[in-house]
Structure 1
Amino acid sequence: MQHSNLKKTRVAVALLFFSLTLFSFIDIYEVMPEAFTSNIIFLQFVPSVLKFIQVVSLSAAGFLIIVVVTFLLGRIYCSAVCPLGILQDIFTFIARKRIKKKVFFKFKKAYPVVRYGLLGIAILSFIVGTSLIINLLDPYSNAGRIFTYSIKPVFVWGNNVIAGILQGQKIYSLHVIELVHASWTITIYVSLFFVLIAYLSYKRGRLFCNLICPVGTLLGLISKKALVKVRISSESCTKCGKCASACKSECIDLKTQNIDYSRCVACYDCLPVCNDDAIKYTLSSKKKKTQVKVVKGEKTVDRRGAIATLLAITASSTILAQHGHGQGHGHGRGNGGFGNRPPYKLSEREYPVTPPGSKSIERFNSLCTACGLCISACPTNVLQPAVTEYGLVGFMQPHMDYAHAGFCNFDCTRCSDICPTGAILPLSLEEKQLTQLGKAVFVKRNCVVHRDGTDCGACSEHCPTKAVSMVPYRNGLVIPEVNQDLCIGCGACEHPCPVDYPHKAIYIEGNPVHQIAQKPKEEESQHKALDEDFPF
């Protein structure tokens, strides 16, 4: 009964963490406060490490709590906190219900070369300043992308269907949400990864966690020395195989009655199935020291190696980032003009535009794990995952997509409030409104005022800082003029420009390093102050 309650408690905690984390990504009505979202993400290992390096504060030290808990109780993070691990458990649970087999799992050998090789590559890439490998392997970021690009679109679609039905009955408790799809490259990649995770967990339980995931491998090194862990009593064990069949980590070897603790995720599934009381979750015995034998095929990794690995992550305060120049979206040729009009000029960015609070492209590329939380939370959908904008090093990291998605709201700081890694640092509203992400560039040749001789002014009307103004042109028309000192690069001018991409008449050229824009001068009042309050 005690072991059964232990498993039920673990399942309840896991479902709570998973539900809250999932909701933070699909919260289309912005019900969850940013502070609450940050508290949920606090214990996610990789984001916590990256943010701790930036702020060096206990407010970002969730990974230290995970390390301590792992040393005490084993890989609790993997079984009850990690959203990707819990997602795998859900598929494993479905498999158990569908496949009626007495022996579901059995002991499988470890692959230390693959496990520790991937861990070493991830740490090395982090030290040299590129987050690409971490982006691809981090369990939290992979789960976040599944939530953002696979689950949220379905959730929004369902909301829109229900909202349409309710509005037909004159009930307006829900409203239609604009659904902006990520590029097909991102959608296909995330969908394939989702299918792969589902298949592996359906067939082999936690294989991804114990073969590919660098966080699981690192915590596995620490959990080998855990004070409290599952132990087999050789005197009581009858080798019935029930525990091994229930072990989703496939780490219980009945032949030697040993457990590979580097792969055990502390799920407690093995405890309630043992009718002989031969397997327990307990401290080591002083009378008979339980020796953790290395499973065949597993190389010995001592505690010093685990600590050295951890220090290699947390002590890397200097991050040397790589970045690729933005490649732009368009590759088409300029369209020929009508009559004697010149052909359109391509409006291609030399540098992509990074979110406010990221400080620079170089810094952003080195810290962002492309989890998609800021993309999911952006109210105008201007943040979209990059494909080639940053080059390979920034694959799936968010960039400001003004032409296809939206613009950056002048009064919004949501992305900087919830970023879990510190890649986007918090900004006050005053700071955000003066942070220059890029500068507007006006292409006169493409402007409809110049080409078609018609009124427009959409860019000037939407500019929140008055960096774009309309000046006299010809035949009574006015044409845009840009004051780049006032521009903050929000894209409110580029997004509504009626000229089709990639020939926008005005576009934002990204700043490799963010700058500070000048404050717009307040217009003087047309009314003169009176000398007396009551002049009559």
Structure 2
Amino acid sequence: PILTRGLLLTAGRVQLGLLKGWSQVGPASGGVYLSLLLFAAVFLLGLFGQRFWCRYVCPSGAVFSALSFLRIGERKVEATCIHCHKCIESCPFDAIHQDYTTRTADCTFCQTCGGACPAHAIKFVTRWNRDKLKEPNEPPMVPRSLSRRGFIASSVAGMGAALSLRTGPVAPRPLRPPGSVSEPEFLDLCVRCGECFKVCPGPVLHPAGLEFGWEALWTPVVVPSHAGCHQDCNFCTQVCPTHAIRPLSLQEKRRTPMGWAVINPKICLPHAGQRDCRLCFEECEAAGYHAIQMRQIKLALGDIPPGVFSEAQLEAMGSIEAPVVDADACTGCGLCEYRCHTTYTKQTHVLSESAIRVVPGERDCASYSVRRGRRNST
């Protein structure tokens, strides 16, 4: 996973920039830099010893080692062993004792030592095979010391680090892909495989950084300011191997909310009385959600000397059409935010931030999707 994630956030970003344009490459967050640091660290650890990561750090290897006592096959050494030491030198996992017998918890059954043995004294047989085996502790072994204090300290530190992920400060809620399960369940199910990032055409989905807490690091979050979730795309819902993102058909996806759009009237151009603007409305209409309506609102005209303008002119000057979000119809796709951000923040620099933002919702996606489907069919 470290290698895959490192390539995704290095070569993947370069590939996206070359194929779709560098404007499609999102800003590098703290999570990206941390991933690159770990990516480099995995290779640098190899300087300390062969397969250092696999032997001492990899959590998957630790799980397999704990279950090694269930193994049927084992590496055995016959009495014809000539004590040449070549098996110990060739073993990539340091799984051979000084008396040439096997550290069962570390052995991966790669059989490299068998090919290196000039006496052909190594065999891979069932664990019950005892034929012609060499005597153990010959030559005598020096046992590895394991400090009880160090073992206890490491265990306590590990448990403390795990608990701190769940008991730390409350992080802001991220905007998850459509069809995502509840946040606690999502964090338990998501394995950070990156499949959703690979298929997202926007890309709308980005790996979460540290702003959402350590536990959410590298999980997929929707970034509407970078791209909106297209109404005809449900790719991420089809590739999630753990169903942290539930499989949805296109019809279900269009009815399933991620959040909802909120307009900031202080900076929205029509609401602030600065100019007409229908960008978010047009984007929502084109997507077929019809969740934004244009309504007449009154504007404060201030003191105008009588007779300067007619009543009709004053009426026209004192009102403007402004967008209003229908929260019940909004799915939080972010197309409106993307259009506003791209036009007024990135291109014309009229606004310092988008006037319409998508915020995470608290609605139960599954029941809401069914309820909306029934409402639309009536």
Amino acid at match of 1:510: P
Residue-by-residue CA offset, 1:448-500 (whole Å, 9 max, x unaligned):
22446323211111112010122234547421111111001111111111443
Residue 207 of structure 1, CA deviation? 2.3
Amino acid at match of 1:151: A
5+ residue gaps in structure 2?
147-165, 298-315, 346-350
Contact 2:254 2:331 in 1 (8 A): yes
Tell me how far apart the structure 2 counterparts of residues 505 and 270 of structure 1 sit (CA, whole Å). Answer: 66
Residue 383 of structure 1, CA deviation? 1.0
Which residue pairs with 2:41 in the alignment?
Answer: 196
Contact 1:416 1:424 in 2 (8 A): yes
Alignment counterpart, residue 56 of structure 2, candidates 198, 207, 211: 211
Structure 1 residues 223 and 373: alpha-carbon distance in aligned structure 2, compared to 1, 3 A threshold: same
Contact 1:358 1:423 in 2 (8 A): yes
Which residue pairs with 1:466 in the alignment?
Answer: 290
Alignment counterpart, residue 399 of structure 1, candidates 218, 221, 224: 221
Amino acid at match of 1:443: N
Residue 388 of structure 1, CA deviation? 4.0
Structure 1 residues 154 and 245: alpha-carbon distance in aligned structure 2, compared to 1, 3 A threshold: farther
Structure 1 residues 513 and 276: alpha-carbon distance in aligned structure 2, compared to 1, 3 A threshold: farther
Which residue pairs with 1:274 in the alignment?
Answer: 117
Query: Which of 1 and 2 has higher RCO (CA within 8 Å, sep 6+)?
Result: 1
Which residue pairs with 1:261 in the alignment?
Answer: 104
Tell me how far apart the structure 1 counterparts of residues 168 and 178 of structure 2 sit (CA, whole Å). Answer: 18
Tell me how far apart the structure 2 counterparts of residues 507 and 153 of structure 1 sit (CA, whole Å). Answer: 25
Residue 510 of structure 1, CA deviation? 0.7
Contact 2:273 2:320 in 1 (8 A): no
Amino acid at match of 2:197: I
Alignment counterpart, residue 511 of structure 1, candidates 358, 361, 364: 361
Contact 1:252 1:259 in 2 (8 A): yes
Tell me how far apart the structure 2 counterparts of residues 201 and 222 of structure 1 sit (CA, whole Å). Answer: 26
Structure 1 residues 184 and 287: alpha-carbon distance in aligned structure 2, compared to 1, 3 A threshold: closer
Which residue pairs with 1:443 in the alignment?
Answer: 264
Which residue pairs with 1:313 in the alignment?
Answer: none
Residue-by-residue CA offset, 1:161-195 (whole Å, 9 max, x unaligned):
xxxxxxxxxxxxxx768652452412221111111
Residue 414 of structure 1, CA deviation? 1.3
> What's the secondary structure of 2:230's corresponding residue?
coil
Alignment counterpart, residue 73 of structure 2, candidates 215, 224, 228: 228
Amino acid at match of 2:106: R
Tell me how far apart the structure 2 counterparts of residues 388 and 273 of structure 1 sit (CA, whole Å). Answer: 47
Tell me how far apart the structure 2 counterparts of residues 278 and 179 of structure 1 sit (CA, whole Å). Answer: 59
Structure 1 residues 461 and 227: alpha-carbon distance in aligned structure 2, compared to 1, 3 A threshold: same
> What's the secondary structure of 2:324's corresponding residue?
strand
1:21-60 paired onto structure 2 within 5 Å: none
Which residue pairs with 1:386 in the alignment?
Answer: 208
Structure 1 residues 509 and 387: alpha-carbon distance in aligned structure 2, compared to 1, 3 A threshold: same
**4+ residue runs over 6 A deviation:** 289-295, 321-324
Contact 1:322 1:362 in 2 (8 A): no
Which residue pairs with 1:172 in the alignment?
Answer: none
The TM-score normalised by the length of structure 1 is 0.54
1:319-358 paired onto structure 2 within 5 Å: 327=172, 351-358=173-180
Residue-by-residue CA offset, 1:54-99 (whole Å, 9 max, x unaligned):
xxxxxxxxxxxxxxxxxxxxxxxxxxxxxxxxxxxxxxxxxxxxxx
Alignment counterpart, residue 235 of structure 2, candidates 414, 436, 441: 414
Structure 1 residues 418 and 178: alpha-carbon distance in aligned structure 2, compared to 1, 3 A threshold: farther
> What's the secondary structure of 2:196's corresponding residue?
helix
Structure 1 residues 429 and 504: alpha-carbon distance in aligned structure 2, compared to 1, 3 A threshold: same
Tell me how far apart the structure 2 counterparts of residues 182 and 225 of structure 1 sit (CA, whole Å). Answer: 48
Structure 1 residues 383 and 435: alpha-carbon distance in aligned structure 2, compared to 1, 3 A threshold: same
Tell me how far apart the structure 2 counterparts of residues 511 and 493 of structure 1 sit (CA, whole Å). Answer: 16
Contact 1:494 1:504 in 2 (8 A): yes
1:523-534 paired onto structure 2 within 5 Å: none
Contact 2:31 2:210 in 1 (8 A): no
